[in-house]
Structure formats: structure tokens, C-alpha cells
Amino acid sequence: MYSIDIDIGGTFTDGFFSDGARIRTRKVLTTPHDLSECFMNCVRAGCETFDLELEDFLLHTEVARVSTTIGTNLLVQRAGPRIGLIVTEGAQRDLYGRGDATILERYIAANMVLGVAEAVDERGEIVREVDPRELLAAVRHLVQNGARMVVVSFRNAWRNAANERRARAIVKERYPVHYLRSVPMQIGTEVVHVSDDHARTNSAVLNAYVHGEMARRLYRAEDLLRAAGYARPLLVVHGNGGSARVAKTVALNTLHSGPAAAVRGAVFMAQLLDLDKVVTADMGGTSLDISVIRGAVLPMSSKSRAGGAEIAIPMIELDAVGAGGGSLATAKDGELRVGPESAGSAPGPVCYGKGGIEPTVTDANLVLGYIDPDYFLGGKMRLDRQAARRSVERRIARALGVGVEAACSLIRDTVNRNIAAEIGKRLGGEAPAQFTLFAFGGCGPLHACAVADAVGVRRIVAFAFASVFSAFGSSTTDIRHTYARTLGAGADRAGEVISTLAAFQEQAVRDMAGEGFATGQIRMMAELCIVENARPRSVAVDPGWESADMLREAGGGVIDSVHLAAECPVPHWAPEKQAGVATDPPAPKGRRVVFWEQGQALDTPVYDALALRTGHRLHGPAIVEAPDTVIVVDAGWALTVDPYGSFILTSAPATGSGSGTS
């Protein structure tokens, strides 16, 4: 049986395919006008690697997963629909915030936010019910002004959501679904159930903003898969490192799903390689994502930011930086700037020959000799080195008064310094030498040694499938549903925690049944957030504990919130440890001139990544080429192949002189 994992990025769409024993990888250009097109192009490309017809391939496929930037792109481009918002009277200007009006500034017009008189007190008692006439007047105003969806988010609704539910019922009765003027409605507490009214409202608005387009595109991809012969539901990766079928996915959960999948894959490899401290550099064509992993555990945050606004969706902790292969280089007043703007896949770098005119990081790497123009994507896409060179000369070299190679080195040095500075910020004062750098994404291994030197990291791990690492990470995910509720409950209300967990477990059983799993296949993990002396701490608990157990864990603190995660396993590929060690030295497949960081033009050995075996060792300066990525081994670094086929780079002077093997 086969598995399909697709990651739709800003520049490339990546595929990771397995038959349980073997893996195959493929990259195709992303088609921004229709993401289902590049999705199916990648599926077809993967099918061809197993010499199968598409229908036969899909008939024998056990699981298909996708990670995507659809939601993130909608927020970045502000390309979502017109949203209407109804809040408690008085909250129209700041949405229960403390002066934070990001949502109003970016995603919803001020005249599309209306307040209605309603009230729920701090004990959850309804002080004032929603007036149907006032509510319907507000809805009419929003619809007449172009609202495609209406969000209702009331103050203190986390304590009692009856007014929110009543508002929806009133609108549904007045405008049934079959009516021409019916309007979709979402209520805040059904998106997230947290005590922070501001974060809950932000979350509900952004969810409505991305919901329609995300659902349309993902359902289209699923429909195309089914039409081609796939009989199971398409799974979508979530920002929390799990996955679920499209029909069971809250739109906001898909934000950052590609980078999150990569971090999930990094945790998997950290566990396999027994590494305690890892910092990841996921450098693709459009951006760079950084995450710090400790103890081989997913770094999670109960709150995060999306579109510049605080949201209350648990997500893997990572930071995006505008530094990718497609990052644009510009020179003005004698100063060089690289990123955050990107050429993306359309038009892409100048060397792609698709209309790009501004030089990029990839163009610089090509001119310097790090990339072979005839072996990009394994030779499937030829790059125009001369076009890249002309662009750098006209737009950078002349402006800075330097030669073309010097200008390209400056572009490369600038992006390396930018990345190193961002990584350094996130290590929190810990010694960089204690960390291992995981370099992936198509461009990560190209820059890893220079970045590690600048940061002070002395060990790097790169992978043969580095350029499709998010798709690989997708393959390590299980079906996962999460549930959370803020209680504000003290130890005397432990019974409420028990009843909440019981309700969560019942919901999890229903949700997993919808995914096709029996109760006995579900693994449930519960957690309490306990606040003591104004400091929160998380405690893992048994979902079946009694009140006395909860009281003991709470101690003198307040149980602020209850969390439950339900997981069901799906097939994963895992690398097998290879027996035996290569005794013969690796032979380069060729040589070419490369302009290294010191400005030296050196005749450099080039190795085939697919020909390297466990135990092979070589010293920099050297180039290791895989079909869809390049590992640059700088002087002072050594590369060794471990039993899992990973490339381990260590900062150590080579024995003897020059580059080559040992």
C-alpha cells in the first residue's frame, strides 16, 4: 500500500511518496491561480516514480495528506471575503482588546463591526438576553454592506454561550439556509473556548476570513483525487502537528501547516538520532522558518499570532523570516538589502526564465557555482546562468561598484547574516554549541555551514529529502483532534474538570468515528493548565482520574483550563538503519569552479548524494548534490553519512591539506 504526502509551498509543491519500504520524492512548481492543479501534478509525478497508472496507484493508496499555505496566503494578501462582526455593545472599537485593533486595521472594516445589548456576568449568569429585533437589524446592515459571513463573539461567552447560540438561532429562523438572503454565521466559542475575549474574537474573525476559500480549494483537491480513483478522505495537516480530514478541520487550524509539518518531521528525526537540542532552519523558495526543539518534544504554544493578531489556537512554535531562495536583492544608495520580498514561483528567480528581472538569492548561488544549471531538480529544469549574471550585474554590481561575483557573494553573505541573527535571537542565551542545526527546505543545506559558523553551532544534520521535508514531516503525523476549555476553576471545582474531560472524550469518540476509527484505536492525552502565584504550569493527567487526583495535582493553584488530545495512528514510513560501513573512499562525480565565502575561485569536487553510503566521509570545501537540493560543505567542515542515510556535518579542520575525502 502507498502513502501520499503533498506540501503546497509558495514556490514549489513537494511530494513524499512511500510504498512502506521505499520512498520517492518529487517537486513541481506551485500554480497560485489554482492550487489543486499543482497538487494533482505532484500526485501524478509521484505515481510515475513507481511505474504505475494513476488509477492503480490511487486504488492502492492507504493515506493521502496535504499541508498548505492557503490560509496563510489569504491573510498575507488580505484576499479574504468581507466579514461582518457582532459584539457586545461597547467593544466595537477594540474588540475587547487593550488597544490592539489589528483585526480592524487589516481584515474587517469599521462599519462592519456592530454592537448589540447583551450581558453575561462573571459567574456565567445571563443578565440580559439578545433582543431579536436589534440583532436582525444588525445582520441586515452587515448583509446589505456586503458581508459574506457574520461572526458573533460576545463578552464572557466562554462562561455561558447561551446568548451566542440564541443569536444564531434567531438568524437561522429568520433566514433559513434555502432562502436567497441566508447568511452563514459562526460563533466565537465554537471556534475556540478560551477566557480571553479578545483572542477568541480575533480567532473567530480570522477563521471566517479563511474558511470559505480554504474549504473550496481543499474540497476541490479531494474531489479530483476521488475522480482519479482514490477512495478515502483527504487529510489536511494542522498547525498543531496532527492531521484530520477536511470535513473535520477548523480552517484556522491549517495556518502554517507546511512549516508545522516540517517541525513534526524534525522531532521525529531528533528522536531517531537521539538529539536533545535542535534548532531548525527550513529555507524554501519564499521564506525561512525557525523552530527550537528541546528534549525531542514538539514545541507548542497555547496562543500564537496570525496576520499580526493574537489568536487562541494551539500551534507548534515557529517563526517565519523573509529569507528564501526567491528573496529579492536590491541595492540603493550603496546599501544592499535582501528580502523579505520574494519572487515566489511566478515569476520566480531570473534564472527560471519565467519573466523575473530582479536578482534573487538563488540567482546569486547559481552565478557563484553552488548550483549546477543543468542538474536543477535532477535535470528536469534548466537554469539560465547568464541571465542571472546579467541581472546581478545591472541591478547590484553597478550600484555597489563591485564585480559580479563579489556582488553575488555580498547577497549570499547578507542572507546568511540575517538568518544567523534570527536563529541567535531564538536560542534564549543558551550556548549555541549545545544545539544541532537541522537544515532543510530546498535552500537550507546551501547555507547551513555559513549560518552555523555565524551562530556558533558546531553540528549540522542535512537529509537526502531535505527539499521536501515538510512533505516528509506530513508523513509522520497521526490523526489528531484537540479540545480545550477555560474554566477559571479552583481546586473546589475539580468535579467540573472531570465532567469537562468526560464530555471531551465523548466528542473525541464521535469525531474519530467520523474519521473511520473505533474507540479502542484512540489514544487520549489530557492536560491541566494550573495557575499558581500568577505563573501557569501544565500538568499531564489521566483522563480517567477522579476528583481527588485532580485536587492533588492542583495543590494551591487554580485550574485555569482543561485540554484533551485524541490521536489515532496512520501508516508512517521510517528509515531503516543500514548494516555495514563503506570502506572505499567516496569518489566525486566531477568538479567545477565555485566562488567560496572568502572570494576564492576554487576547483571544487562535486559528489553525488545518492552514491554516498554509511561511513563515507569527506572534507570541505566540497559540494554534495541531490536531485533537488545541494549541500555546501565549507572549509573547516567535515561530512559523514550516518546509518540512516543522514548527512552529519561537523565543524572540524580537515586532516591534511585541501579538500576531498579521508
Q: Which residue has the higher pLDDT, 482 or 549?
A: 482
**Average pLDDT, integer, range 174-195:** 79
* pLDDT band of 551, cuts 50, 70, 90: low
Please report which helix (H) or strand (E) contains residue 300, including its range.
Answer: strand 300-301
**Average pLDDT, integer, range 599-614:** 93
Scored b (16 or more CB within 10 A) or e, 429-445 reads: eeebeebbbbbbbbbbb
- Is residue 47 helix, strand or coil? helix
Query: What is the β-pairing status of strands 479-490 and 558-568?
Result: antiparallel
Q: What is the C-alpha separation between 217 and 11, in angstroms, rounded?
A: 18
What mean pLDDT is reported for the chain?
A: 89
Neighbouring-strand partners of residue 278: 293, 436
**Average pLDDT, integer, range 133-161:** 94
Quote the pLDDT of residue 554: 60
Q: What is the C-alpha separation between 480 and 2, in angstroms, rounded?
A: 21
Quote the pLDDT of residue 491: 45
Proportion of the chain above pLDDT 70, given as a percent = 94
**Average pLDDT, integer, range 360-376:** 97
- Indicate whether 658 pLDDT > 50: no
- Indicate whether 587 pLDDT > 90: yes
Quote the pLDDT of residue 308: 77
Quote the pLDDT of residue 80: 87
Quote the pLDDT of residue 249: 87
Q: What is the C-alpha separation between 233 and 4, in angstroms, rounded?
A: 12
Region for residue 344 given its phi and psi (left: phi exceeds 0; alpha: psi -120 to 50; beta: otherwise): left
- Indicate whether 653 pLDDT > 60: no
**Alpha-carbon torsion angle 488, 152, 244, 193, nearest 10:** 0
**How many other CB atoms sit within 10 Å of the CB of residue 105?**
11
Quote the pLDDT of residue 656: 41
C-alpha cell at 263: 517541525
Scored b (16 or more CB within 10 A) or e, 39-76 reads: bbbbbebbbebeebebeebbeebebbbbbbbbbbbbbe
- Indicate whether 555 pLDDT > 70: no
In Å, how far from its chain's centre is CA 656? 43
* pLDDT band of 1, cuts 50, 70, 90: confident
Nearest CA-CA partner of 468 in 31, 2, 35, 46:
46
- Indicate whether 212 pLDDT > 90: no
* pLDDT band of 457, cuts 50, 70, 90: very high
Nearest CA-CA partner of 619 in 582, 585, 581:
585
Segment 480-496, tens digit of pLDDT: 998 888 875 444 566 77
Q: What is the C-alpha separation between 322 and 345, in angstroms, rounded?
A: 15
**Average pLDDT, integer, range 414-425:** 94
Quote the pLDDT of residue 655: 44
Is residue 318 within 8 A of residue 278, CB to CB? The reply is: no
* pLDDT band of 177, cuts 50, 70, 90: low
**Average pLDDT, integer, range 591-601:** 89
